[in-house]
Structure 1
Amino acid sequence: MKVVLIFLSLALISGTTHAKRCTVLYAETADLAFDNLDSWEAIQKNYVAYPQCDDGSIAEGNSEAIARILVDEWPENAKLQSLIIHDSGFEKYVVRHINSTLDTDDLHQIITLSSESCPAENKALCGKLIAAAKSEEK
């Protein structure tokens, strides 16, 4: 019985370790997903599916997708707020992607929209977006 428990424990540990690696297949799939990151729902699904690959050029693509929705689809941010209510880690992910890889004009626009057009129920999120963009603005 002890041997079975040890074997199962090792299988679970190695499975967990394996799931956290960004394999070539995961990286290629995450890279291909960029073309479909056109809504908060799509970005949230990508965040759940490929967290282990959020580095380098994939992270830059994720940042660009987040900036595009923030800047070009500002009214859609009510959906972002509803996703964040159910997953606070997603808020950290979005804010982390407001970074120096973004165009300065996009950073400025995020600050402007978050300052001037933020719904009352999103004030906390807008404050975090402003802080992140200001810290990266050149």
Structure 2
Amino acid sequence: MNDFSIAGTQSSPAIRGDWAQGLLAMQGDSYPENSYELFHQVFTWIEAYLADAGRPLHLELRLLYLNTSSIKAMMDIFDLLEAAHLAGKAVSVSWLYDQRNERVVELAEEFKEDCTFPFDVVSHD
């Protein structure tokens, strides 16, 4: 497995997986017509990385808006990370947000409450 990249659009985030760095980054809005189609490659990449890489995985999020199906997809991603964490694998999340976007910080904090792995919600200007 290697790196992958999904170009962002008006309704879907840019997503980049960097195998060598152990980094999965998502940035932008997420309200695609078919979130399963968008996130399927992400799930596959995370599962392969956690199974094969033997190194820490860091998820860096700069998501601005998520619709209901994207929130469900993120819950599934965090469930994968939680299972990996409980199995002794090093995983972490940084969710960077703009202070003016209160909805996103509330959502990120809600996700964080359900996770036992390192999960930082960080304001950026």
Same fold (TM over 0.5): no
Q: With structure 2 as the length reference, what TM-score do the two structures score?
A: 0.39
Structure number with higher helix proportion: 1
Question: Which structure has the bigger radius of gyration?
Answer: 1
Higher strand share: 2
TM-score by length of 1: 0.36
